[in-house]
Chains A and B, each alone.
Chain A
Amino acid sequence: MRFGVVVFPGSNCDHDAWYAVTANLGHQAELLWHSDQDLKGVDCVILPGGFSYGDYLRCGAIAKFSPVMASVKRHAAEGGLVLGICNGFQILTECGLLPGSLVRNRNLKFICKQVDLRAGTRQSPFTCAIPEGATLTVPIAHGEGCYVADEATLDQLEAEDRVAFRYVDNPNGSLRDIAGILNEGRNVMGLMPHPERAADPLMGSTDGRLIFESLIASLAPVK
């Protein structure tokens, strides 16, 4: 499988995502420069964590205008896979590929720690390989990870089985404990925790691999 990791000038988890899918999972990955429109034919685009363009305005507010995002939107519209991690999730909400918004953590502080997650659904290419009822230990590292949306949107997300992950012990005040959501087509996921930081046995947890393994399994040719 071929992943593409977008490199905004302020991305700082780009290398981590690249390392996880290549060195840890043994697949291919391309780096996609933010001012290029060519996605190099990748199967799954990863929008990595970081501070895309500094994010002094609003996280992801400038990234949505970048040339690469036009291609990412097209890729998504054609059913291509898009995984936005942390800042990537923020960008996906800013550019309208996902509903709602990420605001400052309830305690107004940046939080870096391991958290426990449960998949809200296994009916998606991002979660299909996760065992039923499993708890995943995956780190968070964000200042603005509190997911908010209006009641109707939250109800709709739940009604359409689009809550991909929930926190077991909500660290940031996210409404309905939401850690990750899917778009209507179920081919775009935004996730605040960092699965790429939980893909290497030396990093304390390898539960993040389940998300990448789900993606790999979903694209595997049916035998």
Chain B
Amino acid sequence: MSEITPEVVAAHQLTPDEYDRIVAILGRTPNLTELGIFSVMWSEHCSYKSSRLHLKKLPTRSERVVQGPGENAGILDIGQDAEGNDWCIAFKIESHNHPSFIEPFQGAATGVGGILRDIFTMGARPIAVMDALRFGPLDHPTAGARNRRILDGVVSGIAHYGNCFGVPTVGGETVFEPSYNGNPLVNVFALGVFRKDQIFYGKASGDGNPVIYVGAKTGRDGIHGASMASAEFTEESKQKRPNVQVGDPFMEKLLLEACLEAMATGAIAGIQDMGAAGLTCSTCEMGSRAGTGIEFDLRHVPQREKGMTPYEIMLSESQERMLLVAHAGREQEVLDVFKKWGLDAVIIGKVTTDGILRVKNHGEVVAEIPNRPLADEAPLYNRPFTQPLRIAPMEAPEFVAKDLTADLFTLAGSGDLCDKRWIWEQYDYMVRTNTLAGPGGDAAVVRVKETGTSVAMALDGNGRYTLLDPREGAKLMVAECCRNLSCVGAEPVGATNNLNFGNPERPEIMAQLVEAIEGMAEACAFFETPITGGNVSLYNETLGDPIFPSPVLGIVGLLPTQDPVGIGFRAEGDHVYLVGGTGAADEVRMGGTQYAKQVLKQMWGLPPKLDMEFEKKVQGAVRAMVRAGAVASVHDVSDGGLLWALAECSFPNGVGLAAEVDSDLRPELLLFHEGPSRVVVSTADPGAVETLAAQHGVPAVRLGQTVAGRLAVANRGAVLVDVEVAQLKERWATALASQLEAELHV
């Protein structure tokens, strides 16, 4: 056994203090295997040691919450079926940022695999996936080629895994900023559905119960993946490719079916997937949650390679593996199910009462660690924080639009706003025939056949807003996500968050994290969307350059199953309203907009101003309109502002709008400011829209009537823009493909 020197400790990314704590817990010096086990369990990725203190500020409870943070996924009650059975959804978002930079295809693919296992390990069948992706600009002068390759690899990886597994990828978002040049973000959200009496937890309960390993064999892949995800990127990171795992979606599909079938036998006491930190994490967390110990022998663990050391087996992150605990005496029923599906299932050990994780190798004890301190007493850091890092001036530059039409075309061709069909057509977004609204709308809607209920879901994040003001930016994100759900008629009920930030050991980065969490906490409490779980991804820096603070939020909502209302204007002559009014704006609050980014190529000032009370009223009004069938189309105003929202409403059916407004705002602000709490609706029944808006106490400003093929906006008689929808749509629809395919198809 190698000697534990300070260098060995440092190589495991443990500080001297952390090492002393390990020695205190064990009452002796750890051996190398034990050191490895502590290093992954106490990594930032597994222990949340920098963020835990602040994550406690998030609201986590409501009447619907069945399971909050701390399990593999959060669970919400969605109501009953016709026979009176209670049904639930399980959902969570997780990042695979670091692996996706090192090896985009497998990094993204295994990201999908990991979050799917989190869902079905609880007993739920996954019915939807969404992805929030952040890349460097595709036309960046130096990093463009690499960014294009990363995007292509990530999208192919997601498609490869999700399509084969058989879960629809129903939406998401893709955004570009230079700050993601060396550090793309790949956040994957998954949601599953099940009966409330079918929930399983990751608990190793029952003295003497057999512990069973199922799924793929263990290899040397992914060793120290969790620690890698907890460090900044340097030139040496490129040597870390072997840390990235390789995914096998067919194996995962077998695992899904076998696990659900095995659960149905009633012979399983607890189950957990082997994700980050593999066998180590699953054994010690299952024991810790149940207050038990686990004793097992590595010689029983199915191995893909010869001569693996205990250290390697314990730290391997080979994919598509699960650990489960069966009720003693019923293990054969479980083994039979896995045999039917052609999977390895081996009893490797048993549950004990002493609270110790005891790992043997051919009978010899190679690690002996008390579970609870390992899993739950990881170091907790109250890292110092100052003022959030700010790299933009507060003052607005002078700007006057030379040509509003040209500006509109610039937005249409921009990476952030252009059509993302090139991406989402590679995803099977319909498999399982539940997708009522797929990619390209404000929110995805997936029905639950058993209950007559549908689940709406949206992912949102805006790194520019959170950079300019982490607290307000986070609130805006919650508001927008809830607004997206309201636009499809859903009531927001719960959320999951992915906090992507830089190095928390820098006080100005830590301040971004703290303020964003506090803003998110305030808004989630206000909108009654408790956070039931999520993921924190820190150290997103390359060569000292941090990413924009990039929290991503996934919110789910509920609605009765009904024909979805789309974002597109449907027929000529419909009346168009801006529910919530034209909003307020000033120059300082233009600095985070797409207009500032794409047209002026600058950033300054503050994000738009949010009034949460008003926002909630607007959302209530819109939801009522959708549910009453009073509107033909609904689309919220967000990135790109009012004119861009109207353009997006015009694209699906080629039906545009001749709008006449009456506003004091100058044209650049009127057309492109991104003030929240505004929704564009079209209707054949203007009376119904006006009545519902009045009932909810919100203005509904009439913009005009839909027309074929044209989009025109005039303010007080002065025409600001008047464009052919088809021309604008052409720019929007071809922008992404033309940037990508020029190169990929050589």
Selected from A110, A111, A113, A200, the residue in CB contact (under 8 A) with B433 is A200
Selected from A23, A53, A110, A139, the residue in CB contact (under 8 A) with B159 is A110
Contact A9 B426, beta carbon cutoff 8 Å: no
Residue interface bits A190-221, CB-to-B below 8 A is 1, else 0: 00001011011111000000000000000000
B290 lies within 8 A of chain A by Cβ: no
Instruction: Specify which chain A residues have a CB less than 8 angstroms from the CB of B165 in the assembled complex.
Output: 12
Contact A54 B425, beta carbon cutoff 8 Å: no
Chain B, residue nearest A16 (CB): B433
Distance of A211 Cα from B728 Cα, bound (Å): 39
Residue interface bits A37-81, CB-to-B below 8 A is 1, else 0: 000000000000111011110000000000000000000000000
Instruction: Specify which chain A residues have a CB less than 8 angstroms from the CB of B166 in the assembled complex.
Output: 12-13, 50
Instruction: Specify which chain A residues have a CB less than 8 angstroms from the CB of B156 in the assembled complex.
Output: 109
Chain A, residue nearest B437 (CB): A204
Looking at the assembled complex, report how far the CB atom of B64 sits from the nearest CB atom of chain A, in whole angstroms: 25
A19 lies within 8 A of chain B by Cβ: yes
Looking at the assembled complex, report how far the CB atom of B439 sits from the nearest CB atom of chain A, in whole angstroms: 10
A1 lies within 8 A of chain B by Cβ: no
Looking at the assembled complex, report how far the CB atom of A13 sits from the nearest CB atom of chain B, in whole angstroms: 6
Contact B164 A113, beta carbon cutoff 8 Å: no
A141 lies within 8 A of chain B by Cβ: yes
Instruction: Specify which chain B residues have a CB less than 8 angstroms from the CB of A200 in the assembled complex.
Output: 433
B431 lies within 8 A of chain A by Cβ: yes
Contact B433 A19, beta carbon cutoff 8 Å: yes
On whether A16 and B447 interact (CB within 8 A), knowing A10-B250, A54-B164, A202-B563, the answer reads no
Instruction: Specify which chain B residues have a CB less than 8 angstroms from the CB of A13 in the assembled complex.
Output: 166, 431
Selected from A10, A16, A111, A201, the residue in CB contact (under 8 A) with B164 is A10
A134 lies within 8 A of chain B by Cβ: no
Instruction: Specify which chain A residues have a CB less than 8 angstroms from the CB of B430 in the assembled complex.
Output: 112, 139, 141, 194, 197, 203
Contact A20 B163, beta carbon cutoff 8 Å: no
Interface centre among A50, A53, A194 (most CB of B within 10 A): A50
Distance of A197 Cα from B561 Cα, bound (Å): 17
A143 lies within 8 A of chain B by Cβ: yes
Chain A, residue nearest B436 (CB): A202
Within 8 A of A (CB), among B238-297: 248-251, 253-254, 257
Interface centre among A54, A56, A194 (most CB of B within 10 A): A54
Instruction: Specify which chain B residues have a CB less than 8 angstroms from the CB of A202 in the assembled complex.
Output: 436, 447, 561, 563
Q: How large is the interface on B (under 10, 10 to 19, 20 to 34, 35 or more residues)?
A: 20 to 34
Residue interface bits B471-496, CB-to-A below 8 A is 1, else 0: 00000000000000000000000000
Chain A, residue nearest B433 (CB): A16
Contact A20 B433, beta carbon cutoff 8 Å: yes
Looking at the assembled complex, report how far the CB atom of B568 sits from the nearest CB atom of chain A, in whole angstroms: 13
A15 lies within 8 A of chain B by Cβ: yes
Distance of A112 Cα from B159 Cα, bound (Å): 10
Residue interface bits B386-427, CB-to-A below 8 A is 1, else 0: 000000000000000000000000000000000000001111
B342 lies within 8 A of chain A by Cβ: yes
Instruction: Specify which chain A residues have a CB less than 8 angstroms from the CB of B164 in the assembled complex.
Output: 10, 12, 51, 54-55
Looking at the assembled complex, report how far the CB atom of A202 sits from the nearest CB atom of chain B, in whole angstroms: 6
Chain B, residue nearest A109 (CB): B426
Residue interface bits B614-646, CB-to-A below 8 A is 1, else 0: 000000000000000000000000000000000
Looking at the assembled complex, report how far the CB atom of B744 sits from the nearest CB atom of chain A, in whole angstroms: 9
Looking at the assembled complex, report how far the CB atom of B560 sits from the nearest CB atom of chain A, in whole angstroms: 12
Distance of A199 Cα from B433 Cα, bound (Å): 9
Residue interface bits B542-567, CB-to-A below 8 A is 1, else 0: 00000000000000000001010000
Chain A, residue nearest B248 (CB): A54
Contact A9 B425, beta carbon cutoff 8 Å: no
B428 lies within 8 A of chain A by Cβ: yes
Contact B426 A141, beta carbon cutoff 8 Å: no
Instruction: Specify which chain B residues have a CB less than 8 angstroms from the CB of A19 in the assembled complex.
Output: 433, 449
Looking at the assembled complex, report how far the CB atom of A87 sits from the nearest CB atom of chain B, in whole angstroms: 10
Within 8 A of A (CB), among B661-699: none
B604 lies within 8 A of chain A by Cβ: no
Selected from A16, A53, A109, A201, the residue in CB contact (under 8 A) with B431 is A16
Contact B253 A9, beta carbon cutoff 8 Å: yes
Instruction: Specify which chain B residues have a CB less than 8 angstroms from the CB of A9 in the assembled complex.
Output: 250, 253-254, 257, 341-342
Within 8 A of A (CB), among B154-173: 156, 159, 163-166
Contact A16 B432, beta carbon cutoff 8 Å: yes
Selected from B250, B341, B563, the residue in CB contact (under 8 A) with A54 is B250
B38 lies within 8 A of chain A by Cβ: no
Contact A112 B250, beta carbon cutoff 8 Å: no
Instruction: Specify which chain A residues have a CB less than 8 angstroms from the CB of B428 in the assembled complex.
Output: 110, 112, 141
Distance of A203 Cα from B431 Cα, bound (Å): 11
Within 8 A of A (CB), among B509-565: 561, 563
Residue interface bits A122-144, CB-to-B below 8 A is 1, else 0: 00000000000000000101010
Contact A112 B427, beta carbon cutoff 8 Å: yes
B577 lies within 8 A of chain A by Cβ: no
Instruction: Specify which chain B residues have a CB less than 8 angstroms from the CB of A15 in the assembled complex.
Output: 432
Looking at the assembled complex, report how far the CB atom of A20 sits from the nearest CB atom of chain B, in whole angstroms: 7
Instruction: Specify which chain A residues have a CB less than 8 angstroms from the CB of B251 in the assembled complex.
Output: 54
Contact B433 A203, beta carbon cutoff 8 Å: yes
Distance of A56 Cα from B426 Cα, bound (Å): 18
Distance of A18 Cα from B449 Cα, bound (Å): 13
B189 lies within 8 A of chain A by Cβ: no
B429 lies within 8 A of chain A by Cβ: yes
Chain A, residue nearest B431 (CB): A12
Distance of A140 Cα from B654 Cα, bound (Å): 24
Contact B449 A56, beta carbon cutoff 8 Å: no
Selected from B163, B254, B424, B433, the residue in CB contact (under 8 A) with A196 is B433
Instruction: Specify which chain A residues have a CB less than 8 angstroms from the CB of B429 in the assembled complex.
Output: 112
Chain A, residue nearest B167 (CB): A12
Chain B, residue nearest A19 (CB): B433
Distance of A49 Cα from B430 Cα, bound (Å): 12
Instruction: Specify which chain B residues have a CB less than 8 angstroms from the CB of A199 in the assembled complex.
Output: 433
Looking at the assembled complex, report how far the CB atom of A68 sits from the nearest CB atom of chain B, in whole angstroms: 15
Residue interface bits A163-200, CB-to-B below 8 A is 1, else 0: 00000000000000000000000000000001011011
On whether A141 and B163 interact (CB within 8 A), knowing A19-B433, A110-B426, the answer reads yes
Looking at the assembled complex, report how far the CB atom of A33 sits from the nearest CB atom of chain B, in whole angstroms: 9
Selected from A10, A12, A112, A201, the residue in CB contact (under 8 A) with B425 is A112
Instruction: Specify which chain A residues have a CB less than 8 angstroms from the CB of B342 in the assembled complex.
Output: 9
Distance of A16 Cα from B425 Cα, bound (Å): 20
Within 8 A of B (CB), among A137-168: 139, 141, 143
Instruction: Specify which chain B residues have a CB less than 8 angstroms from the CB of A56 in the assembled complex.
Output: 250
Chain B, residue nearest A52 (CB): B250
Interface centre among A12, A111, A201 (most CB of B within 10 A): A12
- 8 tightest A-B CB contacts, nearest first: A12-B166, A54-B250, A141-B428, A16-B433, A51-B164, A110-B426, A112-B428, A110-B159
* 23 sampled A-B residue pairs with Cβ under 8 A: A9-B250, A10-B254, A12-B164, A12-B165, A12-B431, A16-B431, A19-B433, A20-B433, A51-B164, A53-B250, A54-B249, A54-B251, A56-B250, A109-B159, A111-B425, A112-B427, A112-B429, A141-B428, A197-B430, A201-B563, A202-B436, A203-B430, A203-B435
The interface of chain B, by Cβ under 8 A from chain A, is 156, 159, 163-166, 248-251, 253-254, 257, 341-342, 424-433, 435-436, 447, 449, 561, 563
The interface of chain A, by Cβ under 8 A from chain B, is 9-10, 12-13, 15-16, 19-20, 23, 49-51, 53-56, 109-113, 139, 141, 143, 194, 196-197, 199-203
Given contacts A16-B433, A202-B563, 10 further A-B contacts (CB under 8 A): A9-B254, A12-B432, A19-B433, A50-B166, A54-B249, A110-B163, A112-B427, A141-B428, A143-B163, A194-B430
